[in-house]
Amino acid sequence: MSARALTTALLLVGLVAAASAWPKAPAGAVVATARLAAVRNLTTSRGHGRVEFVINGPEPVNGTVSIALNGVMANITMVHIHQRNASLNNPVRLDLVPRTPSAAPVLLDPPYSYNGGLDLTTAFDGARLARWGLSVEEFLFLLKRDKLYVNVHTLSYPGGEIQGMLKCKQPCRFG
């Protein structure tokens, strides 16, 4: 096999692998993923994971957020989507676990630990965003600009033990 043919074959394998990295979703849905890893220079977590976000719309806006955690983590207290904005202290933009009736973070009681794997799925809707002071349009604006991240909080690391930026599949709009 020539070097050019090998390069082309490897490129095609990479494209297929990248395409399969996106979760299955209905046509026109907004899709985003995040790889969760230890917060650099802050934690020594043995936990890691992946988040898959599928938003159907535009009317009504609903969808799912699937969280797959692997490895080992002790005493998980909350999982949120935060806006990356240091001047605003990286505000919570959506609660994932636990879900609360208002826009106030609440701790899991008791905290949850796992060794091996943990899969969680929660619903998404526009009304839930509104409780946190964000419209669907504002959420998509932040998502498209890589300004949202998923953060898994624990008792040992209340600021977040593992986290990852949400990356949106282009065009990152309903269509």
Q: Could you tell me the domains of the chain?
A: 26-168 (2.60.40.200)
> What tokens does 140 get?
């998509």
Show pLDDT as tens, one digit a residue, over the chain (175 residues): 444 443 344 333 343 344 458 989 988 999 999 999 998 888 889 999 999 999 998 888 899 999 999 999 999 999 999 999 988 889 999 999 998 888 888 999 999 999 999 999 999 988 889 999 999 999 999 999 999 999 999 999 999 999 999 999 999 998 8
Q: Residue 158: what pLDDT?
A: 93
> What tokens does 14 get?
């990479």
pTM: 0.85
Question: Among 97, 105, 78, 93, which residue's Cα sits nearest to residue 149?
Answer: 93
For residue 141, give Cα distances in angstroms to 108, 153, 172: 30, 25, 9
